[in-house]
Amino acid sequence: MLVRPNCPLLNMPNMHRRTVRHILAALGVSLGVSLGFSLALPAAVAAQGRPLPTDDPSVKKGMDNIKSWNAWILEQQVGLCEIPAPPFKETARGLEFRKRIAALGYPQAKIDSIGNVIVERPGTGNGPTVMIAGHLDTVFPEGTDVKVKKTGDRYDAPGIGDDCRGLAVVLSVAKALNEGAIKTTGKVILVANVGEEGPGDLRGVRYMFGGAYKGKVDYFISVDGLGIHVTDRAVGSKRYSVKFTGPGGHSYGAFGMPSAIHAMGRAIANISDLQVPSGAKTTFNVGIVKGGTSVNTISPDGTMDVDMRSESVTNLDEMDKRIQDAIAKGLAAENARWPNSKAKIAVKYDTIGIRPVGKVPQTEATPIVATALAAGKALGQTKVETGASSTDSNIPMSLGIQAITIGGGGSGGGAHAITEWYQDGPEGYKGPQWALLLVAALAGMPKSITP
Ligand SMILES: [Zn+2]
């Protein structure tokens, strides 16, 4: 692009320059001409959403199509859900997703080296690049019964909402774009990614944004969860496994030596009593404990998995410090309890996952959020709730990219439990309609960038 050497935009990170270019494009301004960049963009421009192409005949057709395809959309959701996708074992579901999206007129669908299914749909111009993604993985281990039980418009199965609904929404957007011949000026990238859930630690999206798509995506939408809801702030997390070890011994014969399990117990007691820092919501949890050999063995090992979360970097770091302190005190107390023993308990930390806090909160004044809220209103939703969560959007948000997570419509409950359920209700189709309208608005329609 042509930018004058004294342009202040030269000092901005690449993504910001791209975003400014697209805001200007939406105003019918091309950077190909020489502009006086000393003029700051009016704040009001940045605070507005992208134009909604609700009058575009192809988008209108796409929206009607989605409504009429409701049964097909639910079939996609059920069909994909019945293919198990435990953490790190998403291959079978990914292959099926690729088959299904290729059949919608996307023979270019590919699977990258860690298992993300990716389709690039070229734009007609150089509008913003929009990536929309659902995640393939579930939290459920191998052997979980994933057969879907249907009762009226209610579907019961582990993973039916989280995130088979998201995958079905991505497929319906793909189908609507092609069958409605919807032309967007920017590229649309349709994705079914691996590794969103706990142990996956966002590895699918992390891989794309650190590699092939680094600096190449202007807007990111994750479809995860239900209803018409926007996640615009990233809850960051730190998770580690803490292992206590010692020599261990006979519970009677070697009595008088410290125990790994007792040390871990002291640490957990200390953690349980911790206060969280004030301000942004901050949480902690010891979720899994393991260890020991037998009832009559002084334990040589004990392991606990700890999770902490916050929207604030400072709070997350402070919580981390308090937890490590609590663990160190528990360890010291157990070793001090048996001063005559040569045996000592040691502790070792292994990181399970770190999810970054969003660097730039995506507030209602951010174009992607404003566009999503306006698109929700255009579908008759009087109030679209916004909130904070920990999802695939954490990665682009932490990179300063405009990103949100949206619900896929319908309603339900029991996410991450085997009692998970989804109910389509009379307006379930509005989820995929919302996603389509949002993608079209963000990628831009040829008309919307004509002055
Ligand atoms: Zn999910």
Q: Compute the distance from residue 391 Cα to the ligand 1 centre, in Å.
A: 7
Residue 19 has pLDDT above 60, yes or no: no
What is the predicted pLDDT for the residue at 44? Answer: 34
pLDDT tens per residue, range 272-298: 999 999 999 999 999 999 999 999 999
Q: What pLDDT shows up at residue 356?
A: 87
Question: What integer pLDDT is reported at residue 365 of this predicted model?
Answer: 79
Cα separations in angstroms, 156 against 150, 330, 417, 423: 6, 44, 11, 9
- What is the 278 CA–ligand 1 centroid distance (Å)? 28
E strands, 182-281, where?
Answer: 188-193, 219-223, 229-234, 236-245, 249-250
Greater pLDDT, 390 or 177 = 177
Q: Kindly give the distance from the C-alpha atom of residue 273 to the centroid of ligand 1, in angstroms, as a whole number.
A: 31
- Give how far the C-alpha of residue 55 lies from the chain's centroid of Cα atoms, to the nearest Å: 31
Beta-carbon contacts of 185 under 8 Å, excluding residues fewer than 6 positions away, are 25, 123, 124, 125, 126, 127, 443, 444, 445, 446, 449
CA of 129 to the centre of ligand 1 (A): 23
Confidence (pLDDT) at 41: 35
Ligand 1: centre distance to CA 390 (Å): 9
User: Ligand 1 centroid vs 394 CA: distance in angstroms?
Assistant: 13
Q: Say how many Å lie between the CA of residue 346 and the centre of ligand 1.
A: 36
The owner of tokens 């992208």 is 50
CA pair distance 81, 93, nearest whole angstrom = 8
378 or 363, greater pLDDT: 378
CA of 138 to the centre of ligand 1 (A): 7
- By percentage, how much of the chain surpasses pLDDT 90? 80
Closest among 242, 249, 231 to 266, alpha carbons compared: 242
pLDDT of residue 446: 87
The DSSP H or E segment spanning 267 is: helix 260-272
Please tell me the distance from the alpha carbon of residue 113 to that of residue 295, in angstroms, as a whole number.
46
Q: How far apart are alpha carbons 264 and 345 in whole angstroms?
A: 10
In the reported structure, the alpha carbon of residue 202 is separated from the centroid of ligand 1 by a whole-number distance in angstroms of: 10
**pLDDT for the residue 361:** 66
Cα 415 to ligand 1 centroid, rounded to whole Å:
8
Ligand 1 center to residue 441 CA distance, Å?
24
- Alpha-carbon distance of 394 to 310, in angstroms, equals 12
How far is the centre of ligand 1, averaged over its atoms, from the C-alpha of 365 (Å)? 26
- CA of 91 from ligand 1 middle (Å) equals 17
Is the model more confident about 447 or about 103? 103
pLDDT in tens, 128-151: 999 999 999 999 999 999 999 999
Residue 197 CA, ligand 1 centroid: distance in Å:
7
Distance 225 CA to ligand 1 centre (A): 6
> How far is ligand 1, taken at its centre, from the CA of residue 99, in Å?
22
Cα 388 to middle of ligand 1, angstroms: 14
236 Cα: distance to centroid of ligand 1 (angstroms): 15
Extract the tokens encoding 251: 């519970």
Burial class (CB in 10 A: 0-12, 13-18, 19+), 147: exposed
**CA 37 to ligand 1 centroid distance, Å:** 42
The answer, as to whether pTM is greater than 0.75, is: yes
Q: Provide the pLDDT for residue 447.
A: 67
Q: Does 3 score more than 80 pLDDT? A: no
List the structure tokens of 98: 């690729």
CA–centroid distance, residue 201 to ligand 1 (Å)? 12
226 alpha carbon to ligand 1 midpoint, in Å?
A: 10
